[in-house]
Structure 1
């Protein structure tokens, strides 16, 4: 933990909305405090779980400012600034850096499907434009392309401020290649709660978590046990929580994460179109799962 600038347990927090689906900044601050007090080592703000595609730049600025005001200085605040336009990302990162965030997360450019060299130059341009640390985010299921291990390693070696990757490719050979070939101060985080232990067995640092919105203490315990080498205990705790890790993804994230927070008595509002609220049947199945794992 002392050697990890962002720790092992990082939650990608949801973005609270009010009844009109406008930003609820007060609730965002309350959620940030709740997550820090629940054991998170750092927070990702306005990632995919934070509905980044439907929270536009001026609103993102408001959200980042609110979270920094609430918990800045207590844990690192990692602002998701990634986009599929390099120039826009560079300009937006410059604006966000002034807010006091501690780092950036930047996703692989989606939809325009750049080749690996394009990915390299995209992230290189961002890294050259800022002194803040950057967490790369590789999620082929959402971006339609995979950033290959060679590209990730090239970036890690060439830019001191590219310090980590959130790997959600599901390709364990690729993840192992990154871990084995990375510079000493570059770390790999699982991008899927359910893949955390396998990735940590390969040498990964921990997780950028979704379930951490709902059960941060439980997920924190799992990664700390794994980091301490108590694999039997970590596996047992992981197996007990696995039904909820997978159940939260019955439909598009973060529909059920927001529903789960409502079920535990901490409502954060609905989701913006084109996402839609959980159906009654989905909510009932989720509640049953939450009771099964002891979260509700």
Structure 2
């Protein structure tokens, strides 16, 4: 029987445990709050209050915690080495944090893969084309355990640099957070105008379906890679004028306008740097001004 240990039983950890259990795995659990393991134990999982004992039970150990600080607080004081253990960390963090943890685990005799799971708990273990997880670290190690990891979601291996999974993960979260914030900001604007968010929702859905077409037509990725920001169809000065109107409308509505104001400021700074006649993609030059 295949075995796996899961450390951390938030919604994601619980979803992973249930998925492995349903796929015939012997599942061992650890969580600081034992009550979160109770139902899983009734279903057939093993739980021990000692994280050291739980780690001894499986070669493959999946960690699902809030962040790397919690990871360190739990694992740094282990009373056992990690010889032969494979730690797959699905906790959120930065690329550098993943590299530092990897070095420590290797020093303890273990191996490490970093992972960024791109689905909510409800889609773990489901056959869904949008369900996938980024992985990075030693390729041979990933290939050895890919079948086990694919029980959760489709696997997307990004490379030997253990920080790459977190880089892709945080880039995707940046798109998520800014997009969701933009939608909610618009709903706040509408509510100030006595319009229910639910009445505007169909427009939101239709626009978000159209957005990939706009991005593709704007040729944003290619323009950034070539630094050729074609403003012949729509330039940043025009976009800045529109951004100012969004900010002013939010002010008139007496709602928080920090989100549109930050976009306006970004556009203005880029125009001030001489890109007013270029495309919107030229804001990359401001964003990346201190990049490597």
Q: State the structure with bigger RCO (CA 8 A, min sep 6), 1 or 2.
A: 1
Normalised to the residue count of structure 1, the TM-score between the two structures is: 0.35
Higher CA-based Rg: 2
Higher fraction of helix: 2
